[in-house]
Amino acid sequence: MLMKHFILLAVLSVLLIAPLQANQQGIVVRTAAVHASPSHGAQRVGEITAGTTVSIFSRQGGWKEVFSEEHSIIGWVRSYQVREGNAAPVVETTNESDSRGFLAGLASFSRKASSFFKSDSSATSSGTATIGVRGLSEEEIKTARADFAEFEKMIKFASNSKRAGSFARQGGLSSTRVPHISGKKQ
State the Cα–Cα distance between residues 77 and 151, nearest whole angstrom.
44
Q: Pick from 55, 63, 65, 75: which binds another protein (CB under 8 A)?
A: 63
CA angle centred on 93, ends 90 and 99, rounded to 5° = 125
Q: Pick from 10, 17, 100, 112: which binds another protein (CB under 8 A)?
A: 100
DSSP one-letter code for 144: P
Site for another protein in 136-175 (CB under 8 A): 136-138, 140-142, 144-148, 150-151, 153-155, 157-161, 163-165, 167-168, 171-175
**Reduced to 3 states, what is the DSSP secondary structure of residue 34?**
strand
State the Cα–Cα distance between residues 144 and 134, nearest whole angstrom.
13
Stretch that binds another protein, among 1-9, 11-19, 67-75, 94-102 (CB under 8 A): 94-102
Paired residues of 66 in beta bridges: 56, 75
User: Applying CB under 8 A, what is the total number of residues that bind another protein?
Assistant: 82
Question: Residues 48, 68: contact at Cβ < 8 Å?
Answer: yes
29 binds another protein (CB under 8 A): yes
Residue 123 Cα to chain centre, angstroms? 19
Q: Pick from 60, 70, 94, 121: which binds another protein (CB under 8 A)?
A: 60
State the Cα–Cα distance between residues 89 and 86, nearest whole angstrom.
5
Stretch that binds another protein, among 3-11, 15-23, 33-41, 69-77 (CB under 8 A): 33-41
132 binds another protein (CB under 8 A): yes
The distance of closest approach from Cβ of residue 95 to another protein in the complex, given in angstroms and rounded to an integer, is 13
2 binds another protein (CB under 8 A): no
